[in-house]
Amino acid sequence: MTLDVRRGTPVWAFMELRKVALVKLMSDLVDREDCGLPDADCNRVKATLEKMAVVFSGVPDSKAFLKTTIHARFVEFADAYERWNDEPKSLGPDEHDKAAKLRKKLLRRMQQSHQRFSSTQRKNMHILDRELDLKLTQDLYGLLGSLSKSLPEVFKGVGESVAKFIGKHDKAESAE
């Protein structure tokens, strides 16, 4: 069976989310390694990732015994973000360099979590091709778009990826 990964298909949109939007989110955080995010901004990111986890719970996958689901892998990713911002705050203000190094280490863990998420997605491509709904991915992009609009100075890359997705998706729809 051949997978339908053409621009505008649900699988293409889901792959774009993984390969572009989530990578941009991590790239945007690199710029904040020194200081992290203020609590209000961090809470906004956490809330967005929690909402995304709820949407990811609707992603069809193999659900075979002892296999990790796409939803579970995304929850790991969201948890890695939370550690990225929260753990360095336990260090004192005079330990700024230590906090930055810790954030760098925790961002690597977040990237590793993203790799596991990607691997799980790839293993489930045949199921995603058959059962994935484009609206689900559009909802995920909508959440990321809201985040980038609420914190444009922090999530420039996320905003660009959302705009790029919307442009590509609109072009694909008009080509049909």
**Per-residue DSSP letters for 122-159?**
HHTHHHHHHH--HHHHHHHHHHHHHHHHHSTTT-HHHH
Q: What percent of the chain has pLDDT over 90?
A: 52
**Distance from C-alpha of 84 to C-alpha of 37, rounded to nearest angstrom:** 10
**Model pLDDT for residues 36-45, shown as the tens digit of each residue:** 899 999 999 9
Residue with tokens 């045949």: 126
Is 66 a residue whose pLDDT tops 50? no
Percentage of residues of the chain with pLDDT beyond 70: 88
> Tens digits of per-residue pLDDT, 107-160?
999 999 999 999 988 888 888 888 888 888 899 999 999 999 999 999 999 999
pTM of the entire predicted model: 0.86
Segment 70-75 shows an average pLDDT of 91
Place 62 in a pLDDT band, splitting at 50, 70 and 90.
Answer: low
